[in-house]
Amino acid sequence: MPLPRLLIYGATGYTGRLIVQRALARGLKPIIAGRDREAIASMAAACDLEWMIAHVDDQARLLSLTASATVLLNAAAPFTSSSPALMGACVATGTHYLDVTGEADSIEATAQSHDEAIRRRVMLMPGVGFDVVASDCLAAHVARRLPGARVLKLGFDTSQSASRGSLKTSLEMAGRGVQVRSGGRLVRVAQGSLTYCFDYGRGPQLSVAVSLGDTSAAYFSTGIPNVETYLRATLSVWGAITADQYWGWLVASPPWQAWLKAQTAWLPTGPSPQARSRGWATIVADANDWNGRCVRSRLRTADKYSFTALSAIRVAERTLAGDWLAGFQTPSRVYGPEFALSFDGVSREDF
């Protein structure tokens, strides 16, 4: 039987590079892959790794790619573009599929392949980065504290700006409103229409609803039918929401999408190593039931990008070792609410 092998797709992106570095630090020798031959070949030479090139619209090449690995870890955002073809190839070749998406639509699409993944005996687990591992484990924790909870609100506060890939994902969501889970269904509400106060550790602070992957993942993990996700309402967050309210219809048009995505090439790929070393993130989960009972818990982590690299490789390692469940899965369903606490620099408190 061949040895288990990990393949990292999108390895030369900002998050992909951090994941490769973490894999090497853990003693793994992944195959690296992506669309840019020059960048992939250069990284492979520097790290002494095998490499492959495949575009997501080349199905034959993708099948060859996924057949070479036991586990594929997809770090190529936006995931609504990369995930369907890569996941389909994984299911066809019996390869476990992981990605670091924070997009609810991408997670929902992955869930649609559950039955086929069961038949093929492979695991499909999207969201193995900061969002949704940290938040998913916290959601499962408060659901355990309050059985029968009907409403879950998750608030995020972080010290860091978005990476280039995250900005491209945000551009794709322009003009589409905010995604929330209501009565078990994903629906959209107007930008800026939902606010809530979370205590991130410095007293209640205003937060505004945004579209995050937890409106999908937390629902599958906990069964709570009403889920909303929020960011602390900083000036930059309000500025982005206001711009979307007035100009989202224009930004969503194909010409502007193409132009703005091209402009992201001039931006830094992501936070510097120094910024990551000082980075932090806080997540608060409020769960309520119909009897008026409420539980609250808070999770603190270090830099979200470093957490993503660590958690993605930890899930990949466990999958390679045979610790997986067939079908569409979420992190807390397979590894439990305490999984996030296994990482250095993570703490949780109930209040």
* Interval 258-279: pLDDT, tens: 544 454 554 556 788 888 888 9
Q: Looking at the structure, tell me whether residues 16 and 104 fall in a common domain.
A: yes
Q: Which residue has the tokens 């078990």?
A: 184
Quick one: 61 and 200 in the same domain? no
Residue 50: the pLDDT is 97
Residues 71 and 57 in one domain: yes
Q: What is the pTM of this model?
A: 0.89
Same domain flag for 212 and 143: yes
pLDDT for the residue 124: 98
Contact 34, 63 (CB under 8 A): no
In a domain, residue 348? The reply is no
CA 94: distance to chain centroid?
A: 23
Residue 341 lies in a domain: no
Q: How far is CA 148 from CA 52, 183, 286, 332, in A?
A: 48, 14, 13, 18
Q: Are residues 164 and 296 in the same domain?
A: yes
What range defines the domain where residue 328 resides? 6-130+306-335
Q: Say yes or no: 76 and 18 in one domain.
A: yes
What is the C-alpha separation between 160 and 237, in angstroms, rounded?
12
Q: Are residues 106 and 204 in the same domain?
A: no
Low-confidence ranges of the chain (pLDDT < 70): 1-2, 160-176, 237-269
Bridge partners for 187 per DSSP: 180
Residues 69 and 33 in one domain: yes
Does 346 reside within a domain? no
**Is residue 340, in this structure, part of any structural domain at all?**
no
How many structural domains compose the chain? 2
CA distance 277 to 344: 13
In Å, what is the CA distance from 201 to each residue of 52, 302, 340, 343?
46, 15, 19, 21
